[in-house]
Amino acid sequence: MASPSARPALAAVGSPVPAHVAIIMDGNGRWASARGLPRAAGHRAGRDAVRRTVEAARELGVDVLTLYAFSTENWRRPSDEVGALLALLHEAVLAEAEELHRSGIQLRVCGALDGLAPETRAELDRVVALTSGGAALILNIAFNYGSRAELARAARLLAADVAAGARTPESIDEAAVAARLYTAGLPDPDLLIRTGREQRLSNFLLWQCAYAELVFLDVLWPDFGRDHLVAAIATYQQRQRRFGAAPGG
Ligand code: FPP
C-alpha cells in the first residue's frame, strides 16, 4: 500500500488523496420512485454506481474503499426488497470476481457473515481468497454490518479472554478493541461520504470514523460517479484535520 508521501499527486484531484474512503450509499429507493420503478431497480442501478466508484477510487490512488451495502437494520425492510438486495450482492460478486482479480482489487467483507445464505457465504469466501493478493485497492463491503453490534462483539471477545485468564481488564486499551473489530488491520477512514441528502451515520463505522471528515452529497446513489468522488475528495482536501490538537498546532 502506498505511504501518504508516496501517494501520487494526481492533477485531477490534488493531494493528499485520502487513504481510506467510506461511503454510505443512500437514495436508491428515491431514485427508483422518481422513475416509477420498483425499489429493486434502484438497487440494480446502484450496482452500476458501485462499479464506477470502485474504478475511480482505484485510478485516483485510494487504498481502501468501504461501502455500506447492507446494514443489520436493513432486515426490517419488506422481504422482497431484502431478497432482491441479497441476490444482487451474490450476483455482483459472482459476476465481478474475475475483473476484480485482473484489476488487482482485493475484496474484503465486514459484518456478520453468519447471517447470509450458505451459497452467498461460500461465494464471498471464494472471491476473498481469489483476490487476496490484490494490491491496487482494497474493496471492503460492509454487509450485514452494524457498528453497535460490532462493538458488542469486540466486548464479548475481550470478556472471554479475561474470563479465560488470558488477559486482565486493565490491559484492555483502544488497540485491543480496534484489533477485534471487523476492520482490524485497515486504516481508519479519512473521508466518509453519504449520498442521498440525509446527514447521519446510521450505525456505520462509529468507532473507526472518530476523526473522519464527513461529506454529505445532494446526489442519489445511482447517479454517483467519478466526478462526485473527485468533488468529495476536493472538499476533504480543503479541511484542516487536527485530531484534537489546537488550530495550527
Ligand atoms: C440505500 O438506499 C441503499 C441500500 C440499502 C443498499 C445499497 C446497495 C447497493 C448500492 C447495491 C449494490 C451493492 C454492491 C456492493 C454490489 P435506500 O434504499 O435506503 O434509498 P432511499 O433512502 O431512497 O429509500
Domain segments of the chain as ranges: 16-146+188-237
C-beta neighbour count of 180 within 10 angstroms:
18
* DSSP code for 212: P
Active site residue 140: no
- Which residue CA neighbors atom 5 of ligand 1 most closely? 70
Ligand 1: residues with CB < 6 A are: 25-30, 43, 46-47, 50, 67, 69, 74, 85, 88-89, 92, 141, 196, 221
Please report the pLDDT score of residue 115 as a whole number. Answer: 78
Q: Cell 473489530 appears where?
A: 181
User: How many angstroms from the chain centroid is the CA of residue 130?
Assistant: 20
93 touches 119 (CB < 8 A): no
Active site residue 74: yes
Report the alpha-carbon distance of residue 222 to residue 220 in Å, rounded.
6
pLDDT confidence of residue 247: 77
Residue the block writes with cell 490491559: 171
Single out the residue of 230, 232, 233, 226 nearest to residue 51, CA to CA. Answer: 226
> Which atom number of ligand 1 is nearest to the Cα of residue 220?
23
Residue of 24, 26, 105 best suited for mutating to test ligand 1, as the one with most atoms within 8 Å of CB: 26
In the three-class reduction of DSSP (H, G, I as helix; E, B as strand; rest coil), residue 87 is classed as helix
Q: Catalytic: which of 26, 28, 140, 190?
A: 26
Distance CA 233, CA 231 (A): 5
Asked whether 145 and 68 are in contact (CB, 8 A), the reply is yes
Residue 242 pLDDT: 82
Query: In a structure prediction context, what are the per-residue pLDDT tens digits for the chain, which is 249 residues long?
Result: 444 434 444 545 778 999 999 999 999 999 999 999 999 999 999 999 999 999 999 999 999 999 999 999 999 999 999 999 999 999 999 999 999 999 999 999 999 988 788 998 999 999 999 999 999 999 999 999 999 999 999 999 999 999 999 999 999 999 999 999 999 999 999 999 999 999 999 999 999 999 999 999 999 999 999 999 999 999 999 998 888 888 765
Ligand 1: nearest atom to the Cα of 198: 22
Residue 15: CB partners within 8 Å, gap ≥ 6?
7, 9, 237
Q: What letter does residue 169 receive in the DSSP assignment? A: G
**Are 19 and 211 within 8 A, CB to CB?**
no
- Ligand 1 center to 74 CA (angstroms): 10
Q: Which residues pair with 227 in a beta bridge?
A: none
CA distance 143 to 86: 10
Alpha helices in the chain (DSSP H): 28-33, 39-60, 79-102, 118-130, 147-163, 174-178, 226-238
Atom of ligand 1 nearest to the CA of 47: 12
What atom in ligand 1 is closest to the CA of residue 74? 5
Looking at domain 16-146+188-237, what is its CATH homologous superfamily?
Answer: Decaprenyl diphosphate synthase-like (3.40.1180.10)
